[in-house]
Structure 1
Amino acid sequence: MGLAKRRRALGYSQERLALILGVDRTTVCRWESGRIAPQPPQRRGLASALEISLPELDALLSPPQCADRSNAGPPRPSTSPDAGDIDEMIRREFLRVLTVSGALAALPTEEAAALTEAAPRETAADFARMNRHLWQVYQMARFKGSVYPVIHDQLATMNEALGENRGSTRPLLSAAADLFQLAGEIAFDGNRNSDAIASYVLAASAGKDAGAYDLWACALVRHAYVEMSEHRYHQAAQLLGAAARLAGRGDSGLSTRHWVASVQAEAYAGLGDLEACERAMDRAEAVRGLSGSSAEGGWLRFDGARLAEERGACYVQLGRLDPAEQALRDALEQTALASGQSYRRRAAALTGLAAIGAKRRDAEQVVTYGREAVGLARASSSGYVARRLRALCDEFGPVSDHRVVELRAEIGSLGTP
């Protein structure tokens, strides 16, 4: 009996077993395929979940395939459960969009128009609407990686449109830039930073070719987030400086330049520059003065709702604990667990409050907020939340309180999607 067969015998789907163990479904898949082996702490939990001994577990770790057939029909190539394979398929589809669209864009205006003049004008608008829907699905999804197969299908549809000469080139490039930013977000949430950066670079390239300055700027902002997650604040600041210049050439009715400013505040906090951080945050606060809908709704969702959380995170990093605590408590009050995105927002605020407790050597505060954040990390399998919690461990230092020691162990057991 293989590992997958034992799981199914107990009535578990891959998603259910992953949730029990606090890992991503793709991790379970890779165990079942023999691509990776569970780590020692994971082996004990896996054996317990499967109701077998460790020696029995050893005998189950090399099955021939990993596809989960318990809740699915015939397999489809575009829904391969391996995240790396999906990333590669998406990248190939996107590069086809970029290559063909770029070729059309290079043609004289008359020739390009001749290739596309028979197309219904709503084609590009349909892609944009579908993209906005996918961003909504992503926002609400507890498991962000579940959106990947739909992204692949959407890119395949774009390629069909290009092959049939349907739709004008620039709108398709804009739609591809939009969609690849979403692919990058999912990769970043899964701690696949190289895939995320590749997605954002390609999105920026498509935004540039489409002449879509706001899209282009947002791709750079997302790239900067990856750099900051690796504490490369100077590199992030450079990207954000370029993004600010692009946003200045974009649509003044959108909140792009305000989002750039809010992320610049985080970069300046990482560099220890309080004055520059507060100036940037003040520029971000000006988003409240925009009339109408300042967010595009898909690739641009900055409306100021997260400013308290972001200001609190900046102050924590700068060591200004009292204003940080007030801002983060305000953020908690504003956060409702109505969508997958709220899990991330609430967990970020909780982790910040736990970090304040660590800096004050207040074990009670550390444990109270830290444990709730761990619960959200397990419920969502979010690499973003797990990453924030691992950074929290750096604040602990040498501790003797057994509750903090246990919390550190819980954080260490979180899976890396």
Structure 2
Amino acid sequence: MVARRRHRLIQRRKMLGFSQEQLAHQIGVERSTVVRWESGEREPRPWQRPRLADVLEVSLEEVDELLAAQVNEEPEAERLDFAMRNPAAVDLVTVAHLAQRVQQLNAQYDAAPSASLLADAGHCHSQVTLLRGFAPNGRIRRELCVSTAESAILMGQLVWDASQRRDHAVSVQYFDQAISAAREIRDPILEAHAQLRKGFVALYGTKTPKEGLRLCNETAIVGRAGSNVLSGLGFLHVGEAYAMLGERHDCERALGAAEESFARIHNDDEALHMFSPTQFDRLAGSCYLFLGVNDKAEQILTRSARSLVRWKKSQSIVLSNLTLAYIRQGKLEEACGTLHEAIDLIAETRGGGGLNTAFTAGREMSPWRHEPWVQEISDRLFALMTT
């Protein structure tokens, strides 16, 4: 008899964010065992099923459903199409498929131009929100609330980036939608993440550091309930808000609180995927740049820029900030080389944060606008703007 893949089991694993290896580690088996379970070649042993249920956050009866042979398994697209026509009939398999799609789009965010993701992300978000509106209370609605919050946060980021950080109102609407969905299911992690993104709009978009200070402080408070990562990120941006206001003492106090939160991070932190060891330096460098301590900003940002190869949008912001630190110290040759690096990354990713900061650096080079090297940079920035 030909073994049939257990698509429901696969979708449940993916919906919870586990790779086959991670699921195997949680249960205490080899990855090859999970592969055989999912391919339909083997059954979990009776003593393994309770642990499988715990890890997948389902009952033992639901484990049986996940393992059941699916002789007439419909293609995912057909199941989703049926659910969109009959939203009250949505099932966990379709919910898992949409959750996986949201995760895939999120994974593309840092490497792809935001405008190129908008159509797919918007379509996915509209599907999730429609189904959530019809879903009864229970597991299906909870999972759809999670996907609504995650896809709304992504849409807020994409809209803001694609508008070169000009469309503040629509971005905030998406973040508010995420906060509402997170509060419905009492998820402090998603709520704090959306709150943090609203803080970014206040700090870098509307340029209202006092409002950014309030929002990021709320992030730190809400994040404490479940994540040292988010609490630390909140404090980091509280420090940046104080730096924008010229308050060095309060800024450094907030940076210290961020360090303390990061020091308490454990591997089970639900927001661990949002943490990078480079984040502290990245924001601390930005803080000292705002405070006018340019030599210290240069030292920190140089260290951060070389550690951000995987995060191209973030690296473009750091390199643009480093350019500003060089310009303000009169190090024009270094500034020129760093800004060219930033422009290379921005041309690839179209990151709104890097683009805005690079334009700021370009404007600060205007005293030397008749120099050939400045004219070359101006031409490259103009090309970015026109495309």
Fold match (TM-score > 0.5): yes
CA distance in 1: counterparts of 2:376 and 2:92, whole angstroms: 59
CA distance in 1: counterparts of 2:198 and 2:379, whole angstroms: 31
Contact 2:90 2:131 in 1 (8 A): no
CA distance in 2: counterparts of 1:220 and 1:394, whole angstroms: 31
CA distance in 2: counterparts of 1:358 and 1:127, whole angstroms: 47
**CA 1:382–1:119: 2 relative to 1, 3 Å:** closer
Partner residue of 1:246 out of 222, 237, 258: 222
CA distance in 2: counterparts of 1:164 and 1:211, whole angstroms: 17
Gaps of 5+ in 1: 1-92, 94-99, 101-114
Give 1:233's aligned residue: 209
CA distance in 2: counterparts of 1:365 and 1:295, whole angstroms: 40
Partner residue of 2:291 out of 295, 311, 318: 318
Partner residue of 1:134 out of 83, 105, 114: 105
CA distance in 1: counterparts of 2:179 and 2:133, whole angstroms: 20
Shift of 1:317: 1.4
CA distance in 1: counterparts of 2:330 and 2:375, whole angstroms: 13
CA deviation map 1:238-259 (0-9, x unaligned): 21222233223x314x511111
Give 2:150's aligned residue: 178
Give 1:308's aligned residue: 281
**CA 1:257–1:135: 2 relative to 1, 3 Å:** same
User: In the alignment, does 2:118 pair up with 1:143?
Assistant: no
CA deviation map 1:52-111 (0-9, x unaligned): xxxxxxxxxxxxxxxxxxxxxxxxxxxxxxxxxxxxxxxxx9xxxxxx9xxxxxxxxxxx
Gaps of 5+ in 2: 1-83
Shift of 1:355: 0.5
User: In the alignment, does 2:264 pair up with 1:289?
Assistant: yes
CA distance in 2: counterparts of 1:124 and 1:284, whole angstroms: 36
CA distance in 1: counterparts of 2:183 and 2:199, whole angstroms: 17
Shift of 1:221: 0.9
Q: Give matches, 1:205-216, under 5 Å.
A: 205-216=180-191
RMSD over aligned CA atoms reads 2.9
User: In the alignment, does 2:301 pair up with 1:328?
Assistant: yes
Normalised TM-score (structure 2): 0.68
Give 1:344's aligned residue: 313
2:176 alignment partner, SS class? helix
CA distance in 1: counterparts of 2:329 and 2:132, whole angstroms: 58
| Count, aligned residues | 294
Contact 2:217 2:235 in 1 (8 A): no
CA deviation map 1:369-417 (0-9, x unaligned): 1122122222222222211112223433533544224423432442277
Contact 2:175 2:198 in 1 (8 A): yes
Contact 2:226 2:269 in 1 (8 A): no
CA distance in 2: counterparts of 1:308 and 1:285, whole angstroms: 11
CA deviation map 1:203-253 (0-9, x unaligned): 1222222222221121111011111113211111121222233223x314x
Higher relative contact order (CA 8 A, sep 6+): 1
Contact 2:242 2:248 in 1 (8 A): yes
Shift of 1:260: 0.7
CA distance in 2: counterparts of 1:309 and 1:205, whole angstroms: 30
Q: Give matches, 1:60-139, under 5 Å.
A: 127-139=98-110
Name the amino acid aligned to 1:172: L
Moved more, 189-198 or 172-181: 189-198
Give 2:331's aligned residue: 362
CA distance in 1: counterparts of 2:375 and 2:297, whole angstroms: 25
Contact 2:212 2:241 in 1 (8 A): yes
CA distance in 2: counterparts of 1:307 and 1:323, whole angstroms: 14
